[in-house]
Amino acid sequence: MGWLGITRDKDPKEAAYNRGEKSFQDVIENQSDGELLYSIDPREDFNTGSTLIVHPGEVALFEKNGVIQEEFTNGRYVLSTENYPFISRLRNMLSGGVSSFNCRVHWFREGDSKEIKWGTETPIEIEDRIYNQEAKLGIAAVYKIKISNPTLCLKKLLGNNIYFKSEAEMNEYWGGELSSIIREVTYNILRAYPNTMLDAINQTRSISKNIQPEVDESISEYGIQLVKFSIVAINILDDFIERVRANKDITRDATLQGMARDIESQAEAKAKINIAQGDLGVMQTLGENWGKQQTVEILKNISVNPGAGGIASAGAGLGMGLGAGNAFGNMANQIITPQQTNTVTPPPINQNETKYYLYINNMQMGPFDLQIVKQFIQSGQLTPDTLVWKEGLAEWIPAKNTEIQNLFNQGRPTPPPPPVTPNI
- pLDDT for 197 equals 93
Q: Is the pLDDT of residue 83 over 90?
A: no
pLDDT band at 349 (very low <50, low <70, confident <90, very high): very low
- pLDDT for 218 equals 92
Q: Is the pLDDT of residue 307 over 60?
A: no
| Interatomic CA distance for residues 423 and 18, integer angstroms | 108
The DSSP-derived string for 145-184 is: EEES-HHHHHHHHHHTT---SSHHHHHHHHHHHHHHHHHH
Cβ-proximal residues to 237 (8 Å cutoff; 6+ apart), any chain: 123, 136, 137, 138
pLDDT band at 166 (very low <50, low <70, confident <90, very high): low
Whether 120 contacts 95, CB under 8 Å: no
| Interatomic CA distance for residues 166 and 197, integer angstroms | 39
Q: Is the pLDDT of residue 88 over 60?
A: no
Tell me the pLDDT tens digit for each residue of 12-66.
677 777 777 777 788 999 988 777 888 888 888 888 889 999 999 999 999 988 8
3-state secondary structure of 357: strand
Task: Report all structural domains of the chain as residue ranges with CATH numbers, in order of start.
Answer: 3-109 (no CATH), 116-245 (3.30.479.30), 254-407 (no CATH)
| Interatomic CA distance for residues 39 and 349, integer angstroms | 71
| Interatomic CA distance for residues 17 and 28, integer angstroms | 10
The radius of gyration of the chain from alpha carbons, rounded to an integer in Å, stands at 37
Say how far residue 365 (Cα) sits from the centre of its chain. Answer: 24
Q: Is the pLDDT of residue 334 over 80?
A: no
Cis bond upstream, residue 367 (ω within 30): yes
Cβ-proximal residues to 367 (8 Å cutoff; 6+ apart), any chain: 355, 356, 357, 390
Tell me the pLDDT tens digit for each residue of 102-157.
889 999 999 898 898 999 999 999 999 888 899 999 999 999 999 999 999 888 88
Q: How many C-beta neighbours within 10 Å does residue 113 have?
A: 21
This prediction has a pTM of 0.52
| Interatomic CA distance for residues 139 and 183, integer angstroms | 9
